[in-house]
Structure 1
């Protein structure tokens, strides 16, 4: 994408938005809906891979892609954590109009994340074979799983850069830019998937290469717009490109999010290992159903991310009453999304799972449909949790956020093993672990939200001062939060 196109985009409908003014419900809904659309298109990447693999190659290819996906979630967790860390910190500085610190936060995040991302890519490429063996990957899909995983990990840096860029856009109140980038790249990915697999007969490797190429283009375009956007912000003096104090500030938000997402990924891998023990049909059915389930959860998570940035901007501006009003609006929007997905899966589960399984494997189809019928009625529960979590992240209460989320993970892993083996419920027992974990974790998140609400969301005093009175260093700001 050349400079002229980037300039046109930046001067057009991609604009920064202040989330501290306007009716909270209207502001949050208008801001979050493009985030929801972005997540839908982001999930289209993974769904397209599974759809094309299952339809044009077979259930074994679908199982191979799904099996590798659980490992890629560890890397996605790191990218998502960097997104959250950058987004919350940038939103806070944008809310307090401290643009120099905002610019330093952006460049520091990009530099540090790129360095760590390259190291993680190397480790993944070296350890891919070991990880697949660790989760007891069935022999008949091991080769395809390894090939897909290696290509996917080779493009991890693209995924990382893109996630940081979207976090920056969201922090500036611009949720449309990520939506348009993802809409174009994900739709393109579908066509490239079909081209590589159906026309060029590249097999599972073709699915992975399509994602690699499309994410690379999206990352380059997003980074170009971010850098151009930063130049348009006012500044007093030259903002440093890298700051150790700023890195610490980012780390305080990002690391808990990375660990939280990472632990979830590890838990999912443990559950995947249990499912692998039930054979390829179970793996294929779960692979199809979990893609549909993840579309629902990540769609609701998009609203939670919007809540985080909305909360961070209003916390930075010192307006706690807007946070409470935003929570109510967020739960209504997330609840609506949850009910729509639940209704679709309950009414037409076989049709949705059947999109991925076309070779008549009834055992795989039954396993996937049963998962959706057990889990989808509880989407409203997880919706409440994710919106409450958004507030906790936005006011930097990461320990509370992690406690609730890790509780969900631990309960799901323990219950999956207990229900499936000790109680003899098999796959059904594993599926039941999801709603049990969600119910307990949602109760904790709501309780923690009420705690921070009583503390007026723990807004720092300097946030309500004008910028001229709030020029303390990042290190001083961090110290004030201890």
Structure 2
């Protein structure tokens, strides 16, 4: 019970914070260790290596986010069964989830290893960093199964409010990652290959830990290897939620790939500055996204318990919380932007390029958090197609239109103007999602009263 939060009873805000804070700390640790990758490779392997690692992020996200979306489906289904008190179905969900993670990881390895270079070429990756980017991706995707298994396992733990043990796992895995970085990159001069191998080995450790935790659970979350199989009913229920969430993640990543392609056209220095800025922004994003994850689990449990009024209270609490976090952290990071960018590179041109991006993103980042919380609430009540459609139109569609119209005008064809597509798409998408949530909750309440 100490690793479980009952979100169907009690005050909303304290439990949302209790859920979010360990998740924020976990994500910050993960980003710190990821930042250590970038700092080490930037300082000891040069700006081309820094650009090579950074330029792969949008492609990695495109392929990985689909399976992370399936993990969202596992989280929602498990939390629904937990809220409804259906223990047998919950245990079947645990085993189905792990099988899905293993299958998804193998598929990602196949796609990533075989097609990374071709996709990077299509994205217009600078020629001077293409060989390094390709090498990094092939090693990274060679061990991607461990990353998928960890994320799916952590999603199961989050479905019952357990965000502390994933924090401990990431702390240990991160220390391993940093130590291996120092050994591989500095001592053995392995460059981007060293960073990739360090990441893979640390993720294997994290996957092992989360599986071990599930095998030692004493309740319906207990994993028994002999029982590993897919339950067809639960599998399709997971797909109903997870597939649209996965496609939504892919759509976001696809639009980001187009933006990355536009960034690539300005050369390696701008790519390096953009990579460093993205790393800094990540600390703000994960702090906001932790409230979105809490919203997802909270809404799912209460949907299973048929406590619809608590869901409405939740979304108001979550939106106010995420707005405050986004405004405070975003503007603090912007104020100290040059000093933070200086950690990644001592090249003044790279730092200036990073500041051009930070000036646009960080001042408006809270709108991204508001959008994510609203989308999570909708998925938590069992409607995953709606956020996907709204995202397709409001976020991805607007970014693509922006890049192929406004950005093509010579006066606005600058490095910084690329990033104005983000706050525009976040704001419009949030408004559409809000209208969708109100409509869905009215229908749910009407159906409940009719029943």
- Is 1:179 aligned with 2:159? no
Q: Of 331, 341, 345, which residue of structure 2 is paired with 1:353?
A: 341
1:243 maps to 231
C-alpha displacement of 1:16 = 2.1
Whole-Å separation in 1 of the counterparts to 2:104 and 2:228: 20
C-alpha displacement of 1:423 = 4.6
C-alpha displacement of 1:460 = 6.8
Whole-Å separation in 1 of the counterparts to 2:329 and 2:136: 29
Question: What are the ranges of 5 or more consecutive residues in structure 1 without an aligned counterpart?
Answer: 1-10, 465-482
Alignment of 1:34-433 (within 5 A): 34-229=22-217, 241-358=229-346, 360=347, 362-406=348-392, 407-425=394-412, 426-433=414-421
Matched positions, count: 447
**More displaced 10-residue stretch of structure 1: 189-198 or 220-229:** 189-198
**More displaced 10-residue stretch of structure 1: 225-234 or 376-385:** 225-234
Q: Is the 8 A contact 1:84 1:167 kept in 2?
A: yes
Q: Is the 8 A contact 1:103 1:230 kept in 2?
A: no
**1:9-39 deviations in whole A, cap 9, x for unaligned?**
xx9x5x2222111111111111121122222
Q: Is the 8 A contact 1:93 1:99 kept in 2?
A: yes
Q: Secondary structure at the match of 1:308?
A: helix
Q: Secondary structure at the match of 1:424?
A: helix
Q: Is the 8 A contact 1:117 1:156 kept in 2?
A: yes
C-alpha displacement of 1:456 = 4.3
Q: Is the 8 A contact 1:45 1:211 kept in 2?
A: no
**1:176-213 deviations in whole A, cap 9, x for unaligned?**
11111112212332232122212221111111111011
Cα pair distance change 1:457/1:158, threshold 3 Å:
farther
C-alpha displacement of 1:88 = 0.4
Q: Secondary structure at the match of 2:8?
A: coil
Q: Secondary structure at the match of 2:20?
A: helix
**1:369-400 deviations in whole A, cap 9, x for unaligned?**
01111111112222221111121010111122
Q: Is the 8 A contact 1:419 1:429 kept in 2?
A: no
**More displaced 10-residue stretch of structure 1: 288-297 or 262-271:** 288-297
- Name the TM-score, length of structure 1 as normaliser: 0.88
- Is 1:451 aligned with 2:439? yes
Q: Is the 8 A contact 1:416 1:431 kept in 2?
A: no
Whole-Å separation in 2 of the counterparts to 1:96 and 1:450: 24
1:468 maps to none
Q: Is the 8 A contact 1:395 1:459 kept in 2?
A: no
Q: Secondary structure at the match of 2:345?
A: coil
C-alpha displacement of 1:239 = 8.1
Whole-Å separation in 1 of the counterparts to 2:249 and 2:36: 23
Question: What are the ranges of 5 or more consecutive residues in structure 2 without an aligned counterpart?
Answer: none
1:5 maps to none
Whole-Å separation in 2 of the counterparts to 1:320 and 1:308: 14
**More displaced 10-residue stretch of structure 1: 333-342 or 150-159:** 333-342
C-alpha displacement of 1:233 = 5.7
Tell me how large the CA RMSD over aligned residues is. Answer: 2.3
Q: Is the 8 A contact 1:345 1:373 kept in 2?
A: no
Whole-Å separation in 2 of the counterparts to 1:213 and 1:416: 38
Cα pair distance change 1:418/1:45, threshold 3 Å:
farther
Q: Is the 8 A contact 1:197 1:207 kept in 2?
A: yes
**1:55-104 deviations in whole A, cap 9, x for unaligned?**
22121111000111221112320332122011000000000110110111
Q: Secondary structure at the match of 1:242?
A: coil
**1:434-480 deviations in whole A, cap 9, x for unaligned?**
11111111111222222223234688799x9xxxxxxxxxxxxxxxx
Cα pair distance change 1:105/1:364, threshold 3 Å:
same
Q: Secondary structure at the match of 1:430?
A: helix
1:438 maps to 426
